[in-house]
Amino acid sequence: MKVGLIGLGLMGHGMAESLLRGGHELTVYNRTASKADALVAKGARLAKTPADACRGDVVITMLADDAAVEEVTFGAHGILENLSVGAVHVSASTISVALADRLTIEHSQSGKHFVSAPVFGRPQVAAAGQLNILAAGAAEPVKRVLPVLESMAQKVWPFGERPSAANLVKLSGNFMIFAAVEALAESIALIRKGGVDEHAFVDLMTSTLFAAPIYKGYAPLITKQQYQPPGFAAPLGLKDVRLALTAGESLKVPLPLGSLVRDKFLTLLARGGEGDDIAALGKVAAEQAGM
């Protein structure tokens, strides 16, 4: 398929590599054009504007936040103005439920389709084409973009015909990730201050009671205090937990753990953790324990 991809951050770059391996005709756009050099060398075409990435069957956005998605969708030379009638905009970004609902309405009114397809996986998983991708939207456009999504995924998980449903699932999943990392952070701080071998503790927990990817992936980062370079940057963690809290408020669902994690992220950023991975919640827990 003819695919445009807007956003070549750590995740977007890996997704682009997977799309090229999948044989798609790929056009990429990024504000810093040099980030596309390696992809162009592998056969991608470089777009000069977001509009230039909207000439094919589908355009994918993989951007940091609501503001960035709004800018490339509604702004000058944006997606809504330039995407062909009947073509599909796939948002892989972690955005708010409210923005997903707005995008659905705006695309429909202009004769275009919107599909939400947020992803689970760190950058190396994206580069390997092994993401878990959530997909929600009208049946026909979802079916049409499925070969594109499958090029980047180990599995595509359907969540019905309302696009924002996939965004609510994504925010809920990220909330669970943050809660797990915070639990690891506090437990490891307790073990470390008690003079017990934290590596042995982590080996025990991740081999028995908590033998799951999140625990196995983040526990070593905390024990080794390996917080840079970030695979999931702390400012994005704060953004996502805020979006989860907003969704909870809208649906009248209290998320007390979400409020706790938000405050921990704020503490991390206040102490200079802008460039850290979310695993640096371990640093906050250690500092609060006097270590």
Residue 170 annotated among the catalytic residues of the structure: yes
Residues with Cβ within 8 Å of residue 107, at least 6 apart in sequence: 80, 89, 113, 114
What gap in Å lies between CA 191 and CA 187, rounded to an integer? 6
Query: What DSSP character marks residue 277?
Result: B
215: closest CA among 187, 189, 192?
187
Which member of 48, 143, 170, 264 is catalytic?
170
Query: What DSSP character marks residue 52?
Result: G
Query: What DSSP character marks residue 53?
Result: G
227 sits in which H/E element: none
Provide the token pair at 194. Answer: 């008690």
Got the DSSP string for 66-131? HHHHHHHHHSTT-HHHHSPTT-EEEE-S---HHHHHHHHHHHHHTT-EEEE--EE--HHHHHTT-E
The amino acid at residue 88 is V
Residue 69's Cβ-count burial label (10 Å; 0-12, 13-18, 19+) is buried
Residue numbers annotated as active site: 170
